[in-house]
């Protein structure tokens, strides 16, 4: 099953995601590629555990979904989302049994190590989301990244490092593993087990609200001289977010306009639509559109604010701010 952002609860218990198998172990695979690992690994259990896969490639998402469906793995959920966002916001405390990371992007260029997943903050987050006895399993062909990840796990203060065990056989059936095996190269494997389970809180993100009044919005009156052609791309920055207003379009109903905003908050990037809709009393409602099921974050609220501020600079009179 493919999940969108808006399909998740924050956090989301396994019993809701897997109502038919709520008591089975729960495995998360980060960066599942084309989905070859899980059908092999699932067969090593008496019953297939509940599976959650996360990727940032839409093409990989579709390939993996098809592969899992063909394998008859019905208790599997895949989604397109940054891994640390999913682990922090979706996974409850002490809920996972295993986190699998096979052949992650090593970000090998100088100065790019901050983009690597397996750094001390992620290990602390993982320790908070793993059950006692759980583990992070890493398999990689990259020597330097392997050493880096092991050092970061030790520096996290919450992980023990075991580099003696062999990788799961399923990890050696993935696309990258087969590539390196054909070249006569091997792979490194480490098992990271929590020595403590810190309380890493969930953030303030939430899915698109069901109550209309909770949706970020503003009410304003546009001047008779308002001309949408005056719009130009603009960027607004806050402490932890960046909003880029990219373009303004006429709405399909011809009752206003729609602004396209690019919102970046750490590892989470969303593109959202902000509508500017004419109301019966002559005022206009500036409101986040539900299209795409956005997560309501401070940056998304700021996108509504950025559109409102621009309209104010064009002579709009603000009646109400709801963001």
**Nearest in space to 274 (alpha carbons), one of 255, 290, 264, 288:** 288
Report the binding-site residues: 29, 55, 105, 109, 141
Report the binding-site residues for substrate: 109, 141
The two structure tokens encoding residue 121: 């903050």
The two structure tokens encoding residue 160: 């023990």
Report the binding-site residues for S-adenosyl-L-methionine: 29, 55, 105
DSSP lists the bridge partners of residue 139 as 102, 189
For residue 74, the Cα-to-chain-centroid distance in whole angstroms is 22
Q: Out of 7, 34, 97, 105, pick the active-site residue.
A: 105
**Nearest in space to 128 (alpha carbons), one of 171, 99, 154:** 99
The rounded distance, in Å, linking the Cα atoms of 128 and 196 is 8
Verify whether residue 97 is a known catalytic residue: no
Q: Got the DSSP string for 209-276?
A: -SSGGGS-EEEEE--TT--GGG---EEEE-SS-EEEEEEEEE-TTSSEEEEEEEEEETTEEEEEEEEE
Catalytic residues: 105
């Amino acid at each position: 099953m493919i999940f969108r952002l808006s399909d998740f609860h924050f956090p989301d218990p396994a019993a809701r995601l897997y109502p038919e198998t709520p008591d089975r172990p729960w495995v998360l695979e980060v960066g599942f590629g084309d989905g070859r690992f899980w059908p092999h690994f699932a067969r090593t259990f008496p019953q297939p555990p509940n599976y959650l896969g996360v990727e940032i490639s839409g093409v990989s998402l579709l390939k993996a979904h098809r592969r899992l469906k063909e394998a008859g793995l019905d208790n599997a959920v895949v989604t397109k989302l940054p891994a640390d966002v999913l682990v922090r916001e979706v996974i409850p405390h002490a809920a996972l049994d295993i986190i699998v990371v096979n052949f992650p992007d090593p970000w090998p260029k100088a100065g790019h190590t901050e983009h690597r997943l397996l750094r001390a903050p992620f290990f602390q987050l993982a320790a908070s989301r793993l059950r006692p006895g759980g583990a992070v399993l890493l398999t990689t062909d990259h020597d330097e990244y392997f050493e880096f990840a092991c050092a970061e796990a030790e520096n996290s203060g919450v992980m023990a490092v075991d580099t003696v065990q062999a990788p799961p056989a399923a990890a050696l059936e993935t696309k990258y593993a087969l590539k390196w095996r054909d070249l006569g190269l091997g792979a490194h494997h480490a098992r990271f087990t929590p020595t403590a389970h810190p309380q890493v809180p969930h953030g303030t993100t939430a899915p698109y609200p069901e109550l209309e009044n909770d949706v970020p919005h503003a009410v304003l009156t546009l001047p008779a001289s308002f001309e949408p052609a005056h719009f130009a791309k603009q960027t607004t920055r806050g402490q932890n977010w960046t909003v880029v207003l990219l373009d303004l379009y006429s709405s399909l109903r011809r009752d206003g306009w729609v602004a396209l905003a690019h919102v970046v908050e750490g590892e989470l990037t969303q593109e959202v639509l902000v509508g500017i809709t004419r109301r019966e009393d002559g005022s206009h409602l500036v409101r986040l559109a539900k299209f795409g099921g956005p997560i309501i974050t401070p940056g998304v609220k700021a996108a509504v604010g950025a559109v409102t501020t621009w309209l104010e600079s064009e002579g709009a009179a603000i009646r109400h701010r709801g963001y």
